[in-house]
């Protein structure tokens, strides 16, 4: 279905996201990493090494360390400073903290080894002049967390951050949007084609039943994760 129900007008504020981290209400965080990234990593890397990989709305995703350990350079952005500090603490990674001159109030947390740089600010404050361009993106929990009214703005930004021939692994979720207000928000396939279709070849790689007690408590009777690979042709 193409109907996103009442979700199109739903707005989650930055304060609400910060509150989720403060109260530990982070059911979206996967301690063991995401099985779909492990399974399809080769599709993202496409035989390449030493890539720059972007994690939008990264939280404290464990895969950032995993990819950095493979020799890639990882850049993330997240509004919650707590999430970023927890990431470094949980992996016992030394880091330094510095302001970002171009963005008022923003901070950059960089691993001492230099291969993980995490920006604490709104993603919309970033630009390629600040963070450079990327060979790959792991978007799990980002597009589906962005307020539906901001999706076009988000995608337009992401497109400016991508190198030619880059690969973008995108995880969306599918459920009845009339039964849960989100986030995560339901993003139908037709909308992905509208958002990215002018710049990318889009292929659905897998749909996974991810239904759990948490989703049952939301009043849902099914919940799927849908993985796409977007290849930038622009």
CB atoms within 10 A of CB 130: 16
Domains in the chain (CATH in brackets) are: 14-22+33-232 (3.40.50.150)
Could you tell me the sign of the dihedral formed by the alpha carbons of 159, 160, 163, 168, in that order? negative
How many residues can be counted in the chain?
Answer: 234
pLDDT surpassing 80 at residue 50? yes
Strand stretches in the chain, DSSP E: 52-55, 73-78, 95-99, 107-111, 116-120, 134-140, 162-174, 200-209, 224-232
Do 136 and 167 touch, CB atoms closer than 8 A?
Answer: yes
Instruction: Output the six-digit token pair for 32.
Output: 């063991």
* Mean pLDDT score, 18-29: 95
Binding residues for S-adenosyl-L-methionine: 17-28, 57, 78, 122-123, 140
Binding residues: 17-28, 57, 78, 122-123, 140
pLDDT surpassing 90 at residue 230? yes
Could you give the 3-state DSSP secondary structure of residue 48?
coil
**pLDDT given at position 234:** 62
pLDDT surpassing 80 at residue 124? yes
- Distance of alpha carbon 116 from alpha carbon 172, whole angstroms: 25
């Amino acid at each position: 279905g193409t109907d996103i129900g009442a979700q199109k007008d739903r707005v989650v504020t930055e304060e609400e996201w910060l509150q989720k981290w403060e109260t530990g209400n982070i059911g979206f965080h996967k301690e063991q990493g995401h099985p779909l990234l492990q399974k399809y990593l080769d599709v993202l890397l496409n035989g390449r090494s030493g890539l720059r990989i972007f994690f939008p709305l990264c939280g404290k995703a464990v895969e950032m360390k995993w990819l950095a350990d493979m020799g890639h350079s990882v850049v993330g952005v997240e509004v919650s400073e707590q999430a970023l500090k927890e990431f470094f603490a949980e992996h016992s990674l030394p880091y330094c903290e510095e302001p970002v001159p171009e963005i008022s109030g923003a901070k950059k947390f960089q691993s001492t080894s230099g291969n993980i740089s995490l920006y604490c600010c709104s993603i919309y404050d970033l630009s390629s002049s600040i963070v450079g361009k990327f060979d790959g993106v792991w978007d799990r929990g980002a597009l589906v967390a962005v307020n539906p009214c901001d999706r076009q703005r988000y995608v337009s930004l992401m497109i400016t951050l991508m190198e030619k021939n880059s690969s973008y692994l995108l995880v969306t979720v599918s459920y009845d949007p009339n039964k849960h207000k989100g986030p995560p928000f339901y993003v139908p396939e037709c909308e992905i084609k509208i958002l990215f279709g002018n710049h990318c070849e889009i292929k659905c790689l897998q749909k996974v039943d991810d239904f759990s007690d948490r989703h049952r408590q939301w009043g849902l009777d099914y919940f799927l994760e849908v993985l796409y690979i977007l290849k930038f042709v622009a």
